[in-house]
């Protein structure tokens, strides 16, 4: 309002001067009318200019906040209102597109950081905040190297080799392995894209370990077989007893390789996502007595095999896979129980859940080994396992079978006293026998 009165004061001063001049002339009336008309026009425009100035100074520029006008100012304010509406619509559209872009980037698995010419952070998505430990509100405008201080990253950023990615391991905020890639765009700006490849690195490590373990498991029997073959080739006149011993050892090692290949094929089939579970109602009790007979045959009278059945309930499952899991647990109990020990097989239903248990009076397992027993090729005692014919894949097979049946494996063990392996089936898989 101050500018309005300032302009009005200037106009009044001019009009007063014109009026004083008119008093000393013969055209006093004409001059007075002219001055009054000029004064009204100037006041009119000054008033609207002041209203426009006040409107420009406010922060909320909406069509409804535009002042009312008269005369030519009515048309000017109408055009201004139309312009404001257009700008507001454009702003709303841009905000909507920005929100959509932010939601899209938030849904992406990759982190995105926008860097300026000097590698200052202009914007980043939530994934990049997690990957690189950035807080956008606090770190915007800061150097990206303040957040990522690894020397390899600083050198990569300085080299500007946009066609080559960089792998960063063990980030300070998370134990992540990230694949970083710079992409230039716009006016010397850059996109820094980060991808979490921790799981891929873990899978690659598992693949390398798997190949190394398989190679190791096959190398030993192959070495034995090749050694005996070379011995038989070098001495065709070898006595019959030595030949029989060599043939027996080669047969044993060949069977060992066969069991390993069979277990590998079984594990591969269980891990195949396309291999759907074929279910049927499995009568557990007859299967357990069948497994008991096989256990007694495998034991060759060296152990006492007991069986306890407390329920006639059945299980909705794949009979072949279920039998394989039970058989693996029973054969392990026999392998690791000294002669004269006991093996127990038990089936019961408690609180609606099915429970299959194998217990033994064997050597037992130290507590630190129990969490890793279902890993492929993991052995508590490698030499003993190989002596008893184990492949190191039995419990891994059991784990995959149970996962397919939503069942859980529970392990209890005490060194020198024995072990107990239990499979707990969910209530939805227990079928009451009519």
Sheet arrangement for strand 304-309: 304-309, 342-350, 353-360, 418-425, 408-414
Q: Among 238-242, 354-358, 398-402, name the one with the lowest average pLDDT.
A: 238-242
Q: Are strands 166-169 and 177-185 parallel, antiparallel or unpaired?
A: antiparallel
In sign, the C-alpha dihedral spanning 46, 47, 48, 52 is positive
Which of these three, 171, 196, 221, is where a domain ends? Answer: 196
Same domain assignment for residues 222 and 185: no
Please, how many CA atoms are within 13 Å of residue 378, restricted to the half-sphere of its CB? 14
Same domain assignment for residues 288 and 420: yes
| pLDDT (0 to 100) of residue 8 | 57
Asked whether residue 395 is assigned to any structural domain, the reply reads yes
What are the residues whose beta carbons fall under 8 Å from the beta carbon of 299, sequence distance 6 or more? Answer: 305, 334, 343
Polymer length in residues for the chain:
434
Same domain assignment for residues 36 and 121: no
Domain harbouring 252, CATH code: 1.10.287.130
Same domain assignment for residues 53 and 129: no
Asked whether residue 101 is assigned to any structural domain, the reply reads no
| pLDDT (0 to 100) of residue 30 | 53
Same domain assignment for residues 341 and 364: yes
pLDDT digit string (tens) for 336-388? Answer: 899 999 999 999 998 999 999 999 999 899 999 998 888 888 877 655 555 55
Same domain assignment for residues 249 and 135: no
Asked whether residue 103 is assigned to any structural domain, the reply reads no
Domain, as residue range, for 207: 201-271
DSSP β-bridge partners for residue 410: 422
Please, what is the average pLDDT of the chain? 83
Same domain assignment for residues 157 and 286: no
Same domain assignment for residues 153 and 291: no
418: pLDDT strictly greater than 60: yes
Domain harbouring 427, CATH code: 3.30.565.10
Which band of pLDDT confidence, cut at 50, 70 and 90, is reported for residue 9?
low
389: pLDDT strictly greater than 60: no
Asked whether residue 78 is assigned to any structural domain, the reply reads yes
Asked whether residue 102 is assigned to any structural domain, the reply reads no
Same domain assignment for residues 425 and 285: yes
Same domain assignment for residues 304 and 403: yes
Is pTM beyond 0.75 here?
Answer: no
Which band of pLDDT confidence, cut at 50, 70 and 90, is reported for residue 1?
very low
Q: Are strands 304-309 and 342-350 parallel, antiparallel or unpaired?
A: parallel
pLDDT digit string (tens) for 102-120? Answer: 677 667 778 888 898 888 9
């Amino acid at each position: 309002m101050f500018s309005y009165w300032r302009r009005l004061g200037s106009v009044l001063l001019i009009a007063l001067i014109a009026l004083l001049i008119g008093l000393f002339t013969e055209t006093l009336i004409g001059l007075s009318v002219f001055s009054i008309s000029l004064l009204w026009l100037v006041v009119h425009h000054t008033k609207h200019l002041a209203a426009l100035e006040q409107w420009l100074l406010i922060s909320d520029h909406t069509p409804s906040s535009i002042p009312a006008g008269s005369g030519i100012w009515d048309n000017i304010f109408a055009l201004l209102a139309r312009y404001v509406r257009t700008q507001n619509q454009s702003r709303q559209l841009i905000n909507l597109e920005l929100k959509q872009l932010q939601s899209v980037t938030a849904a992406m698995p990759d982190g995105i950081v926008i860097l300026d010419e000097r590698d200052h952070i202009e914007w980043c998505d939530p994934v990049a905040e997690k990957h690189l430990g950035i807080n956008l509100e606090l770190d915007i405008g800061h150097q990206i190297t303040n957040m990522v201080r690894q020397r390899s990253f600083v050198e990569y950023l300085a080299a500007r080799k946009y066609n080559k990615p960089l792998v960063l391991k063990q980030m300070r905020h998370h134990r992540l392995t990230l694949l970083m890639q710079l992409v230039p765009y716009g006016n010397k700006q850059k996109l820094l894209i980060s991808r979490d490849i921790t799981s891929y690195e873990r899978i690659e490590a598992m693949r390398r370990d798997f190949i190394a373990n398989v190679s190791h498991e096959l190398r030993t029997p192959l070495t034995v077989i090749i050694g005996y073959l070379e011995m038989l080739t070098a001495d065709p006149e070898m006595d019959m007893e030595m030949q029989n011993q060599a043939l027996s050892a080669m047969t044993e090692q060949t069977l060992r390789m066969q069991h390993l290949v069979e277990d590998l094929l079984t594990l591969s089939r269980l891990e195949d996502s396309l291999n759907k579970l074929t279910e049927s109602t499995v009568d557990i009790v007859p299967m357990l007595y069948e497994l008991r007979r096989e256990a007694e045959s495998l034991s060759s009278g060296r152990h006492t095999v007991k069986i306890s059945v407390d329920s006639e309930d059945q299980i909705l499952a794949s009979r072949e896979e279920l039998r394989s899991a039970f058989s693996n647990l029973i054969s392990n109990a026999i392998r690791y129980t000294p002669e004269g020990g006991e093996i127990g097989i038990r089936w019961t239903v408690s609180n609606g859940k099915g429970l299959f248990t194998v217990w033994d009076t064997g050597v037992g397992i130290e507590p630190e080994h129990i969490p890793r027993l279902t890993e492929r090729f993991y052995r508590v005692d490698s030499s003993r396992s190989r002596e008893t014919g184990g492949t190191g894949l039995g419990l891994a097979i059991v784990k995959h079978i149970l996962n397919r049946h939503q069942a859980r494996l529970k392990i209890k063990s005490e060194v020198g006293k024995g072990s107990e392996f239990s499979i707990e089936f969910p209530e939805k898989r227990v079928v009451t026998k009519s």
